[in-house]
Amino acid sequence: MSSVSLASRGCLLGLLLGLGPGAVAQTVETRIGPVPLQFGLPADEVTRQKLYDEMDFQRAAQTYIWALPIVSFAQWQASAHEAFGAKDADVVIYETLKDRFGILTANATTPYIGGFPDLSKTGPLVIGYPAGATAGGIGDFWQRPVTDMGETGPDRGKGAKYLLLGPGQELPPADGYSVIRSPTNNVFVAFRVLDPDPEKAKKLIAAFQMYPYADRANPQPTRVLRPEGRAWSQIPPSGFAFFERLNDILQREPVFERDRMMMAMLKPLGIEKGKAFAPDTRQRKNLDDGARIGEMMAQTKSFAKREPEALYRSDTRWLYVILLDPSQEAESYSQLDERSDYFYEAVTTTRGMVSKTPGVGQAYLGAYRDKNGAWFDGGKAYKLHVPADAPAKLFWSLTVYDALTRVLIDNGQDIADRSSRNDLQKNADGSVDLYMGPSAPPGLEKNWIPTVPGKAWFAYFRLYGPLEPYSDRSWKLPNIEASN
């Protein structure tokens, strides 16, 4: 066909589309479908709106990935307030398995004690931290460690009195205090008791204090709350509700230099510092769609990690759970993917969780799929062989989680983990075989973790006080295998 006839057909199509005489119409095939152009530009208002919608949808999906850490903490803070009536200087003890059903990948062995003060309301905050076998810390609301406390903190397990200041707060007279500054107004103050003696654990918890510095002359005892069977959840909401929670916490926190570009991306979506969040129908749809796709991206990022360095050893499928530096910063970039990978499936970090000192802190390995790459199926039976003398100074544990909720598996039997602290049936060489499945192998009930048919699961293997054979990877943890 001649160039003249092509031009004539283009002009005719341009007239039919209402583009005016002389306008050459083209259509470009893209991943969002055909895009009609005029003079190489988006051809009409419908096309331009389609591109704006795609832009805003993409921004919403990436915002979900960026915002996971702060939404996760904000959801926990809101749920503790609404379900338990927790106030700024209160702490909640999560002790039973049911207590922890709201926490992303909680361990099932040691109790959690924590609270979410807003320093803009309390002013400088005093934390009287007890001496003893504990792992604790203070995190800002982007889940970056402000300080460790306990065995991996400045107090080295000997206890201390910390003075915590928020953004812009002036330092008062602080003799006898370890002064800590948080970059965010809202913080997470928490610890775990590592001593296996229940009486010592009770005394440690009772000795913990948290109160405003202004009340130091006559501090009230710290109010300690318990879930007591009340339903609650720290899991970040899905869909549009994710952005409702995000807007609320962004309004209460300063904007860091690293996040200014993300805040610019949120502006067309209706989230802007100091302004009401009132998205129109179009904005709501893009936010809802973006959150749902963003969540599926985060699921893939967490459960099918693509970084070669994620693999603990080349001869098993166990992966490092934590790939980020707790500061969330690398030499030339902020760790966006590493952050979303971890905070989709878990909550909070401390320096102790990535300690390289033998016998100090904790170590975490995750198993998400079997050796053939299939998700672990709650209706099938599996086995893990734990070799004798696992490299843990304190103890080791295997914990099973629901893959969709990322919380302890709710199998109706109050069993979500097995650990070296349990009375397990051992093999002659001191090794242990653990079983996961809908029913226990006969005579091996002590070594069994029940799973739920119709639901996928994943597992963490934790080492408390990991030793050198773990850090140098000379110790091998076999794959979780199908069990007949």
> Does the pLDDT at position 195 exceed 90?
no
Is residue 427 included in any domain, yes or no?
Answer: yes
Reported as type and span, the H/E element at residue 366 is: strand 362-367
Report the chain's mean pLDDT, rounded to a whole number.
Answer: 93
Report, as an integer, the average pLDDT of 448-465. 97
Phi, psi dihedrals of residue 413, rounded to the nearest 5°: -120, 5
Q: Say if residues 186 and 252 touch (Cβ distance below 8 Å).
A: yes
Phi, psi dihedrals of residue 403, rounded to the nearest 5°: -70, -30
pLDDT value, residue 360: 86
pLDDT value, residue 24: 66
Q: Which residue segment(s) compose the domain that 10 sits in? A: 3-43
Residues 426, 330 share a domain: yes
Among 222, 242, 272, give the residue marking a domain's end. Answer: 222
pLDDT value, residue 5: 40
Angle at 340 between CA 337 and CA 342, to 5 degrees: 110
CATH code for the domain in which residue 442 is found: 2.60.120.600
Gap between the Cα atoms of 197 and 134, Å rounded: 12
Question: Does 24 or 60 have the greater pLDDT score?
Answer: 60
Gap between the Cα atoms of 335 and 321, Å rounded: 15
Report, as an integer, the average pLDDT of 203-213. 94
- Whole-number CA gyration radius for the chain: 26
Residues 95, 29 share a domain: no
> Does the pLDDT at position 16 exceed 70?
no
pLDDT value, residue 354: 86
> Does the pLDDT at position 7 exceed 90?
no
Residues 450, 323 share a domain: yes
Lowest mean pLDDT among 192-206, 257-271, 285-299: 192-206
Residues 17, 111 share a domain: no
Residues 357, 421 share a domain: yes
Residues of the chain with pLDDT > 70: what percent? 95
Distance (Å) of CA 304 to CA 178, 269, 375: 41, 30, 10
pLDDT value, residue 111: 86
Residues 310, 203 share a domain: no
Residues 6+ apart with CB under 8 A from 447: 418, 424, 425, 432, 433, 434, 435
Is residue 242 included in any domain, yes or no?
Answer: no
* Predicted confidence (pLDDT) per residue in 132-163, tens digit: 988 899 999 999 999 999 988 899 999 999 99
Is residue 169 included in any domain, yes or no?
Answer: yes
Cα end-to-end distance, the chain, whole Å: 68
> Does the pLDDT at position 10 exceed 70?
no
Reported as type and span, the H/E element at residue 49 is: helix 45-84
Q: Say if residues 186 and 249 touch (Cβ distance below 8 Å).
A: yes
Q: Tokens 């530096």 — which residue?
A: 325
pLDDT value, residue 2: 41
Q: How confident is the model at residue 227 (pLDDT cuts 50, 70, 90)?
A: very high
Structure tokens at 244: 């409702």
Residues 137, 209 share a domain: yes
> Does the pLDDT at position 18 exceed 60?
no
pLDDT value, residue 265: 97
Report, as an integer, the average pLDDT of 54-83. 98
Is residue 116 included in any domain, yes or no?
Answer: yes
Is residue 120 included in any domain, yes or no?
Answer: yes
Residues 473, 352 share a domain: yes
Among 222, 242, 270, give the residue marking a domain's end. Answer: 222
Is residue 55 included in any domain, yes or no?
Answer: no
**Chain Cα centroid distance, residue 39:** 48
Residues 474, 327 share a domain: yes
Report, as an integer, the average pLDDT of 153-182. 94
Is residue 62 included in any domain, yes or no?
Answer: no
Is residue 287 included in any domain, yes or no?
Answer: no
Q: How confident is the model at residue 61 (pLDDT cuts 50, 70, 90)?
A: very high
Size of the chain in residues: 484
Residues 378, 461 share a domain: yes
Report, as an integer, the average pLDDT of 336-350. 94
Report, as an integer, the average pLDDT of 351-364. 87
Q: Tokens 């510092």 — which residue?
A: 273
> Does the pLDDT at position 21 exceed 60?
no
Q: Residue 100: which of 401, 434, 352 has the closest Cα?
A: 401
CATH code for the domain in which residue 124 is found: 2.60.40.1610
Distance (Å) of CA 156 to CA 113, 148, 176, 467, 470: 19, 9, 16, 19, 23
> Does the pLDDT at position 266 exceed 50?
yes
* Predicted confidence (pLDDT) per residue in 63-76, tens digit: 999 999 999 999 99
> Does the pLDDT at position 8 exceed 60?
no
Number of structural domains (the chain) is 3
Residues of the chain with pLDDT > 90: what percent? 86
Among 174, 206, 222, give the residue marking a domain's end. Answer: 222
> Does the pLDDT at position 332 exceed 80?
yes
Residues 457, 327 share a domain: yes
* Predicted confidence (pLDDT) per residue in 381-411, tens digit: 999 999 999 999 999 999 999 999 999 999 9
> Does the pLDDT at position 22 exceed 60?
no
pLDDT value, residue 23: 59
Gap between the Cα atoms of 201 and 89, Å rounded: 21
* Predicted confidence (pLDDT) per residue in 90-99, tens digit: 999 999 999 9
pTM: 0.91
Beta strand ranges found along 213-279 (DSSP E): 224-225
Residues 95, 165 share a domain: yes
